Amino acid sequence: MSPADISSSPSSSSPGPERDNFKTLEQFIIEQQDRFPHSTGAFSRVLRDIGLAAKMINRDMRQAGLIGVAGNTGTVNVQGEVQQKMDALAHQEFVRALRRGGECCLIGSEEHAEAIPLSSNQEEGQYIVLLDPLDGSSNIDVCVSVGTIFSIYRLPDGYDQTEPDLDAALQPGTEQVAAGYVVYGSSTMLVYTTGDGVNGFTLDPTIGEFLLSHPQLTTPDRARIFSINVGYYHSFEDGLRSYLDWLQEYDPETDRPAKNRYIGSFVSDFHRNLLKGGIYMYPATQGNPNGKLRLMYEANPMAFIAEQAGGRASDGHERILEKSPDTLHQRTPLLIGTEQMVRRAEAFLAEEHSAA
């Protein structure tokens, strides 16, 4: 096929509308206001502010090696992890955008030990945003995809909008009014749900807008990808090791062996498995018996998205969205992705427990 043929042929693999029929993120959000009681103008502006911060982070990410924001800060954050310069910058961008917007009254961030109250005299300040400003940031220096994860809750009745405390944020994942992530890779995508399906928007840098490119995303029913750090194999529960062994056995009738794909950036691994089908696992280990991912701003928002896309998320024994949080930075094991694969992993774990 000649270059002319390629340029003139239709893009049959395109997941969304033709470019001349695009819909911006802001247009899409406004349309949703008439469909859901909680989708007020204030709620729409929270999503707008998150989108704005994501654009700014994307801009800085593309120039990280040129403007001195690559590498680490030399300090350790509240998680006990070496903080990257882009971690700190991303945290600042989100706090600045949400503070300026005025609709958010409380922020919980992976990069800050305590919840951050945002003093507001506006009646719209009724939303709580929990976020991991830059997941997988240690991969920036080697040009691997990273991401942002966010979760939005409504301020419960009885709490003062001008001085909310941390207890207001400690709600189970079932109370989320929206959740999403941004993946910064070969292109930048914002994916989110408000409980009525999952939609993905790709950033067009030429106009500075997120455009609807992946409407009503669903994850495939059948899949062969499993994502896990197998270097910790001997630290996993016996049941999980048995499941991993089963996945790697040769059996054409059940489409095995499965394919191991692990990037080491949660957002990137999850995004690939959402589109192609698969299971992501960050289980309990001997060194981290409670898991390592954070329940409130990593597991809960991704679980909301997974379920809305037809998948499943659990800690191996309990549905993630029903777990009751005790602390902002609470950790949890996580199995998430295609429902069939998650359920089978749970069955292996349950069988091992019953045998014990």
What's the topology of domain 225-355? Answer: D-Maltodextrin-Binding Protein; domain 2 (3.40.190)
pLDDT per residue as tens digits for the range 196-230 = 999 999 999 999 999 999 999 999 998 999 999 99
Domain 20-216 shares a fold with domain 225-355: no
Does 11 have pLDDT greater than 80? no
Burial class (CB within 10 angstroms; exposed 0-12, middle 13-18, buried 19+) of 94: buried
- Residue boundaries of the structural domains of the chain: 20-216, 225-355
Evaluate if residue 4 carries a pLDDT over 70.
no
- How many Cα atoms sit within 13 Å of 265 on the Cβ side? 25
d(CA 160, CA 249): 56
Q: Residue 6 above 50 pLDDT?
A: no
Please calculate the CA angle 144-96-131 and round it to the nearest 5 degrees. 50
Percent of the chain past pLDDT 90, that is, above it, reads 69
Instruction: Judge contact between 189 and 201, C-beta under 8 A.
Output: yes
**Residue 26 clears pLDDT 80, i.e. is over it:** yes
∠ CA 304-293-157, nearest 5°, is 50
Q: pLDDT tens across 259-307, in order? A: 999 999 999 999 999 999 999 999 999 999 999 999 999 999 999 999 9
Q: Which CATH class is domain 20-216?
A: alpha beta
Query: What pLDDT digit, counting tens, does each position of 237-265 carry?
Result: 999 999 999 999 999 998 999 999 999 99
Structure confidence at residue 69 as a pLDDT band (50, 70, 90): low
Residue 356 in this model has a pLDDT that exceeds 70: no
Helix (H) or strand (E) holding 73: strand 72-76
Residue 351 pLDDT greater than 80, yes or no: yes
Average pLDDT, the chain: 88
pTM: 0.89
Terminal CA-to-CA distance of the chain, rounded, Å?
61
Whose tokens are 């669903």? That residue is: 218
